[in-house]
Amino acid sequence: MRNKILQGDTLKVLKKLPDAFIDMGVTSPPYNKKINTNGSIFRSIKYDNAQDDLPEDEYQQNQIDVLDELYRTIKPGGSFFYNHKVRHLKGIATFPLEWLVKSKWHIRQEIIWDKHTCTEFKGYRFHQKDERIYWLYKPIGGKVIGVKLEGKHAVCSSIWSFTPDKDNPHPAPFPVILPLRCILSFMGDRKGLIIDPYMGSGTTGISCKLLGHDYIGIDISSNYIKSSIDRISNFEDHIDVLKQELLLHVVKNSYKDRQKKKERELKKKTVINSFFS
Ligand SMILES: C[S@@+](CC[C@H](N)C(=O)[O-])C[C@H]1O[C@@H](n2cnc3c(N)ncnc32)[C@H](O)[C@@H]1O
């Protein structure tokens, strides 16, 4: 199954996979954007081979079931990064946290993705230019606090700022930097197997190849799978994204540096005070 994209409905495919063999995952599922209804502000998405208009309670239950299957197939100590957004259904803000708390995962962090751009300008609310990325964690033996990020990755902070991908014909891709940052930060120097259960145009596969990991993907559209395979085989086209990203994963001022700076400031103050006393 390594470096393969499986075709089919995500939940059905996941149910056939073994327990605890994947290191981590990252995805952006279909958002259930529906056709525009009164007070609903988002642009609907037309996928090649999938509807995006389930009744909301069915959609949320499907996402909980998918997340719980991912929990089963990912190893203890593993993580899943889930990209979604706050949607407004008939005027009411609907938060991904509403269903995430009902899944088996421990929610470790909510990351804000500042996209620099928004698609809706009607003024029912402030222009929405953010999406969310939820870091979900599967503890080892009940130890919920679990693994730490290395300092050089933690400096990326909980607000991520980059634009969506404009050069991708898929209707709803995320940019390579998004899965790349999740995988680079969580996996560090380890190599492993990464899943994207809604693979779309293969962006997570590209990030895996850039970082030297194996991937496993799922998508319902054979056309998207074909274009994913093509994009992933040309992963080196995206090497500049990796180069730029690595420059951000650097601790500029370590704790020791900050302590030394404080000591120097204190010394200066003592010299000045002793002059005036
Ligand atoms: C938001 S897109 C993912 C885009 C991807 N992150 C990328 O960068 O290209 C969601 C994907 O889920 C797929 N999809 C929708 N419903 C599905 C289902 N029930 N099972 C499997 N795939 C599905 C769509 O074909 C689409 O490619």
Residue 149: give its domain's CATH number. 3.40.50.150
- Ligand 1 atom nearest the C-alpha of 200 is 27
The binding-site residues of ligand 1, defined as CB within 6 angstroms of any ligand atom, are: 9-10, 28, 30, 47, 50, 170, 172-174, 198, 200-201, 203, 218-221, 224
Ligand 1 center–CA 161 separation, angstroms: 23
Nearest atom (ligand 1) to Cα of 221: 25
Residue with token string 């940052």 = 181
Atom of ligand 1 nearest to the CA of 174: 8
Residue 39 has a pLDDT of 44
Number of domains in the chain: 1
Pocket test for ligand 1, best of 16, 220, 232, 238 (most atoms within 8 A of CB): 220
Tell me the helices (H) and strands (E) count for the chain, helix number first: 9, 10
Q: What is the pTM of this model?
A: 0.92
Ligand 1 test: best mutation among 48, 198, 218, most atoms within 8 Å of CB?
Answer: 198
Q: Which residues contact 235 (CB under 8 A, 6 or more apart)?
A: 205, 206, 209, 210
| Predicted local distance difference test score (pLDDT) of residue 36 | 53
Residue 188 domain boundaries: 4-276
- Rounded Cα distance between 41 and 255, Å, is 45
- Cβ(102)–Cβ(49) under 8 Å? no
The stretch 55-70 carries a mean pLDDT of: 97
227 pLDDT above the threshold of 50 = yes
Alpha helices in 86-214 (DSSP H): 97-100, 151-154, 177-187, 203-211
* Contact (Cβ atoms closer than 8 angstroms) between residue 201 and residue 172: no
Distance 30 CA to ligand 1 centre (A): 6
Instruction: Work out the average pLDDT over 69-79.
Output: 98
Instruction: Compare 166 and 65 and report the one with higher pLDDT.
Output: 65
Coil vs helix vs strand at 56: helix
Residue type, 135: W
Q: What's the whole-number average pLDDT of the chain?
A: 93
Tell me the CA–centroid distance for residue 146 and ligand 1, in Å.
Answer: 30
CA separation for the pair 181, 183 (Å, rounded):
6
Mean of pLDDT values over 170-198: 97
Q: How far apart are CA 267 and CA 175, in angstroms?
A: 48
Q: Which pair of structure tokens corresponds to residue 246?
A: 């690595």
Angle between helices 203-211 and 177-187 in degrees, nearest 10: 40
* 3-25 average pLDDT score: 98
33 Cα: distance to centroid of ligand 1 (angstroms): 13
Residue 56 CA, ligand 1 centroid: distance in Å: 17
Helix (H, G, I), strand (E, B) or coil at 59: helix
Residue closest to 131 by CA, chosen among 150, 114, 110, 149: 114
CA of 165 to the centre of ligand 1 (A): 16
- For residue 222, the model assigns a pLDDT of 97
* Per-residue pLDDT tens digits for 127-161: 999 999 999 999 999 888 888 999 999 999 999 99
Ligand 1 centroid to Cα of residue 49, in Å, is 9
What share of the chain in percent tops pLDDT 70? 96
